[in-house]
Amino acid sequence: MSFGEASYDRVNDYAAVKISLARPHDIRSWSFGEVRKPETINYRTYRPEKDGLFCERIFGPEKDWECSCGKYRGMKYKGMVCDRCGVKIAHSRVRRKRMGHIELASPVVHIWFFKAVPSRLGTLLAMKTTSLEKVIYYQDYVVVDPGDTPLKKQQLLTEEEYRQARAEYPDGAFQVMIGAEAIRRLLQDLDLVTLSRELRAELKECNSKQKRKDLINRLKLVEAIRDSENRPEWMVLDVLPVIPPDLRPLVLLDSGSFATADLNDLYRRIINRNNRLKKLVDLNAPEVIVRNEKRMLQQAVDALFDNGRCKRPVLGSSNRPLKSLTDLIKGKQGRFRENLLGKRVDYSARSVIVVGPSLKLHQCGLPKRIALELYQPFVIRRLRELQHADTIKSAKKMLERRDEEVWDILDEVIQNHPVLLNRAPTLHRMGIQAFEPVLVEGNAIKLHPLVCKGFNADFDGDQMAVHLPLSIEAQVEAHTLIMSTNNVFSPAHGKPIISPSQDVVMGCYYLTLALPDRKGDDMVFSSPAEVELAYSLGKVDTHAEIRVRLPQGKAVKNRPDIAPGSVVPTTVGRIIFNEMLPEGMPFYNEVMTSKGLATVISDCYELLGRPATIKLLDDMNQLGFRQATRSGLSFATDDLLMPANKAKILDAAEKEVIKKHRSYLRGALTQNERYNQILDIWTRARNQITEELMASLKNDRRYPGYVNPIYLMSQSGARGNVEQIRQLAGMRGLMAKPSGQIIETPIKANFREGLNVLEYFSSTHGARKGLADTALKTADSGYLTRKLADVAQNVVITCHDCGTTQGITKGIIYRGEKVEVKLSDAIWGRVARSNIVNPITDEIIVRENQLITREIARKIEELGVEKIQVRSPMTCEAPLGVCALCYGMDASTGRLAEQGLAVGIIAAESIGEPGTQLTMRTFHIGGTASRAVEEHEIRAKQEGTIRFTRLRKVDTEDGRQIVLGRNGEMLLLDERGRELDKFEVPAGAELKVRDGDQVKAGEVLCEWDPHSIPQLAEVSGRVRYEDGIEGETMRLEKDAVGTMRRFILEHRADRNPQIIIEDPETGKVLDFYP
């Protein structure tokens, strides 16, 4: 057979790509010759050795159009084969394409098919992976033909068992084999058609769940091989392909030594062992030696294919595992993800970003040098069109000289030609946005401050990449889809992602603040214009509380009781803020926090559409910066006020802790209960100090017109939160150890007072944990996002309506007593499953299959319903992907999702992006342990009457009522006896009310210790342990204070440890507790 039959002339001319098992015939047809020697190059002449791993006869010439011996040189000899050295005259690039092969002296099994989980060979032959390994690595024999003996096919025999069987049965009565030959024989014996039929029949009769699963997996594999053109025995190799030498180079370094690809070492080992095996077979060496050599050959081939999966990976010179073929293609640094999907692109640049407060929302500042380089072809074309240059070469020269005309043309070329800005890591689609470039001096890219949130960018040295869309289609897509003005709302939650933050929020908050005793207080104006005139003449102060008549038809937001056009009490600043809003918006008579500003943006989008919203964003940005500058707010140590009662609160907590410790020493509390109760005491103390601190900051009026800047920053949502202020001026609180366990001694000091040495060392625990977590968890979070995207990527909106009649129930979500998610938030953006009617007016609020907007959601919530039926992707019956009605609203547009929207990817990004941000947040709060106080009481939410159901209780000697059972409930009824609320009461709770009592809203109904679940006796008597056998079902343990405690262990079913209470006189069993 002639080698090298595969043609490389039309390598890009294909219709489809198929991955299948390589036949031995295929491997030989790819090859241009057999590699027989392990040598690479001659270290004296630096030329490749003949028949070696770099042989020019097999792989092609090293020098263009020149044979190895130098007899033929030049392109005129193209295609000739040198009669002296056998090298075909060709270009040296053929050494990247031409393959060789190694004829193996003994077959070997491909490691991918028996080592990868689940093992394909194991599934196909119904053998365990361990059994396969014993056969493949020449440890055990396998019966391939049992003949008339009682042995079974595929039965494993050890050396000893094989000898016994040989002695027991005559020669030729049965046949056993070992190694890859045995596996190949078993695979050749498989009749896939018959096997498939047998498996289907077996599947019908099978009842065991696990066996059924195994049968289905085997059937799938058998039928996949049967229906393709593959043969199972091709998983065992006779011949091994050798990849082209230029893909595994050997490079001479300046020092005179060679740097080589790991694959060369792996191939060398195979060739050495193969040649030695051939010699041993020719010499008729003892079976044990030949077998050992065959095993070594199998291991060498395993290491070539997948060194990571081998039991003992082959190590290189620096004791690191060599990179095998699998390592080259798998993972992030592999061929696919690194080189094919992750290509570097032309027409891109990278630079540091700085803020561009004067830019419009759709603009970015592009340094002239970057713009000239990116738009170079467009500039050259225009230069030639305008006949400033005749050739491309002369145009390039003009660009290098930076001629005057070049800048004018560059200005013209960049019009309506957007660029893409990207900031790594790109966690969601707002990580890449398009902007119209504006040429700027310097080397830094200028970014609009409002888009920072989408990129998660700040200006502390962040870098961004710029890409240029070249084709008309790409430019149109950038304009219509990726433009920053089209990404105002987040597809994850529908709230504005382009919304003011930091300075702008602080400026707007300060502007709309009302302060007492300001110039112009209580003045009355006939119109907002009059207020602005008075303000410009210095007659009124920004924060003065005044009264103004609103223009005709202008309503006050969230105040339906005030008629449009009325006289309203407001401040000068609020008038200035509202005058900035576009025509048609209501009057916002409130202090503007970051949430308030987001609401203004959402309202503007709903009322006036996108163009008005974009103008509003730019105006709001300018106003915010201007007012923040005028406010002159700063951050000083004196602004951090300390709570006056801090020492008192800490003393009280300290006393409680001592009390708990004494209870523990008396044996009244377990170690766990003591620890948890102490943490609760300190958490309560911390919360109390925080409340006092925030109150003192709020009431800080040290001189007229003063407002505490730290309180202002936190309240407005500009920067910082209560947690951080607490650490600065309250108490640092409890810290977490690196293990995650909370240290029970809190840090009582804050950063303003300064920490003592012990507290400082406690703090380092948490701070380092924060840093370590950030580094480790960010990778985990990224991996989670990748897995989510992987499973959800083919969920796309494929049709408008799948016609399903099913849906799911969505309702209010409570956490304890508190509403965690309101009904309007839970159902917003969904499609109603059925009509919802107002029972009083009979007005249809939402029809079946209608989208629930914010307004409709609010109306449904006002009906007082707790939950409603909506359509859901979980019940969608679309054959592919999901339908638009089951998915609902596209949160980024506020309209029903369009067909083709990749909702799976949006879902993966919406979960993954906040996950990554969360892990990074640990770093910012500095490792302080945030711990909520455990729920330990039930309070009445409204007035009513208490009724007990299934509640078993007992009165103690001191008159307290203690609940015994676990299933007891307490109902709260109105005056008509209708159920208002229902509470589950845990065992051991102390009741504060009696059955039938009238209670007020907020009254405590019962209390309990959240850290211990007691088992309470309902009758008096003598205790006896049943099946409480020490060492078997029970363990005795002495705690730190010497109290002996009994712990029940996991035990076998025939033992049933329980506490029995019996009558001390008669011995009759009164009660038992398992």
Dihedrals phi, psi of 247, to nearest 5 degrees: -90, -5
Say whether both 172 and 160 belong to one domain: yes
Mean pLDDT value of segment 493-498: 88
Report the run of H or E that residue 467 belongs to, with start and end.
Answer: strand 463-467
Say whether both 203 and 299 belong to one domain: no
Band (121; pLDDT cuts 50, 70, 90): very high
Residue 91 CA to residue 924 CA, distance in Å, equals 59
Inform me whether the pLDDT recorded for 1052 exceeds 60.
no
Say whether both 183 and 270 belong to one domain: no
Please say which residue of 342, 365, 395 terminates a domain.
342
Q: Which two tokens stand for residue 260?
A: 């080589």
Q: Rank 75-79, 372-376, 920-924, 949-953 by mean pLDDT and report only the highest.
A: 372-376
Give the model's pLDDT for residue 555: 86
Band (980; pLDDT cuts 50, 70, 90): confident
Dihedrals phi, psi of 982, to nearest 5 degrees: -140, 135
Residue 952 CA to residue 955 CA, distance in Å, equals 11
Q: Are 82 and 66 in contact (CB under 8 A)?
A: no
Please say which residue of 1007, 1035, 1051 terminates a domain.
1007
Give the model's pLDDT for residue 199: 93
Say whether both 145 and 179 belong to one domain: yes
Give the model's pLDDT for residue 923: 44
Tens digits of residue pLDDT in 392-414:
999 999 989 988 889 999 999 99
The set of residues, in sequence order, having a beta carbon less than 8 Å from that of 1063 and lying 6+ positions away, is 1021, 1022, 1070
Distances (CA, A) of 938 to 299, 575, 676, 866: 68, 46, 20, 21
The total of other beta-carbon atoms located within 10 Å of residue 144's CB is 21
The angle, 0 to 180 degrees and rounded to 10, between the axes of the packed helices 722-729 and 709-716 is: 160
Say whether both 338 and 364 belong to one domain: no
3-class DSSP state of 208: coil
Dihedrals phi, psi of 697, to nearest 5 degrees: -70, -40
What range defines the domain where residue 983 resides? Answer: 937-1007
Report the run of H or E that residue 999 belongs to, with start and end.
Answer: strand 998-999
Say whether both 895 and 978 belong to one domain: no
Residue 775 lies in a domain: no
Residue 724 lies in a domain: no
Report the run of H or E that residue 141 belongs to, with start and end.
Answer: strand 141-145
Say whether both 964 and 1055 belong to one domain: no
Q: Which of 109-123, 286-300, 718-732, 956-970 has the lowest mean pLDDT?
A: 956-970
3-state SS, one letter per residue, for 505-569: HHHHHHHCCCCCCCCCCCCEECCHHHHHHHHHCCCCCCCCEEEEECCCCCCECCCCCCCCCCEEE
Please say which residue of 1007, 1031, 1050 terminates a domain.
1007
Inform me whether the pLDDT recorded for 840 exceeds 60.
yes
Residue 141 lies in a domain: yes
Q: Which two tokens stand for residue 444?
A: 């830094």
Residue 923 lies in a domain: no
Is the alpha carbon torsion for 602, 456, 778, 327 positive or negative?
positive
Give the model's pLDDT for residue 457: 92
Q: Rank 130-144, 490-504, 828-842, 909-923 by mean pLDDT and report only the highest.
A: 130-144
Band (1; pLDDT cuts 50, 70, 90): very low
Residue 780 lies in a domain: no
Residue 236 CA to residue 111 CA, distance in Å, equals 9
Give the model's pLDDT for residue 1046: 58
Mean pLDDT value of segment 989-1000: 85
Give the model's pLDDT for residue 1044: 54
Tens digits of residue pLDDT in 1012-1042:
667 777 677 777 777 766 656 666 665 555 5
Mean pLDDT value of segment 488-517: 89
Tens digits of residue pLDDT in 580-625:
999 989 999 999 999 999 999 999 988 998 899 999 999 999 999 9
Band (130; pLDDT cuts 50, 70, 90): very high
Say whether both 200 and 278 belong to one domain: no
C-alpha neighbours within 13 Å on the C-beta side of residue 258: 15
Say whether both 423 and 292 belong to one domain: no
3-state SS, one letter per residue, for 243-287: CCHHHCCEEECCCCCEEECHHHHHHHHHHHHHHHHHHHHHCCCCH
3-class DSSP state of 953: strand
Pick the closest to residue 557 from 522, 606, 513, 603 (CA basis): 603
Mean pLDDT value of segment 970-977: 84
522 torsion bin: left (phi>0), alpha (psi -120 to 50), beta (else): left
- Tally of domains in the chain: 6
Give the model's pLDDT for residue 815: 75
Regarding predicted confidence, which is higher, 195 or 207? 195
Pick the closest to residue 486 from 437, 435, 422 (CA basis): 435
Q: Are 910 and 891 in contact (CB under 8 A)?
A: no
Band (4; pLDDT cuts 50, 70, 90): very low
Regarding predicted confidence, which is higher, 281 or 986? 281
The total of other beta-carbon atoms located within 10 Å of residue 451's CB is 24
Q: Which two tokens stand for residue 984?
A: 């589950």
In DSSP notation, 694-731 reads: HHHHHT--SSTT---HHHHHHHHTSS--HHHHHHHHS-
Residue 743 lies in a domain: no
Residue 512 CA to residue 574 CA, distance in Å, equals 5
Say whether both 329 and 349 belong to one domain: no
Tens digits of residue pLDDT in 6-34:
455 667 788 888 888 999 999 999 999 99
Residue 951 lies in a domain: yes
Residue 734 CA to residue 746 CA, distance in Å, equals 4
Residue 729 CA to residue 524 CA, distance in Å, equals 41
Give the model's pLDDT for residue 253: 87
Give the model's pLDDT for residue 339: 84
Give the model's pLDDT for residue 757: 92
Tens digits of residue pLDDT in 929-938:
555 556 778 8
Report the run of H or E that residue 945 belongs to, with start and end.
Answer: strand 944-949
Q: Which two tokens stand for residue 103?
A: 């004829």
Inform me whether the pLDDT recorded for 298 exceeds 90.
yes
Band (734; pLDDT cuts 50, 70, 90): confident
Residue 947 CA to residue 927 CA, distance in Å, equals 46
545-549/524-525 β-pairing: parallel
Give the model's pLDDT for residue 6: 47
CATH code of the domain covering residue 994: 2.40.50.100
Residue 72 lies in a domain: no
Q: What is the pTM of this model?
A: 0.75
Say whether both 193 and 276 belong to one domain: no
Say whether both 894 and 1002 belong to one domain: no
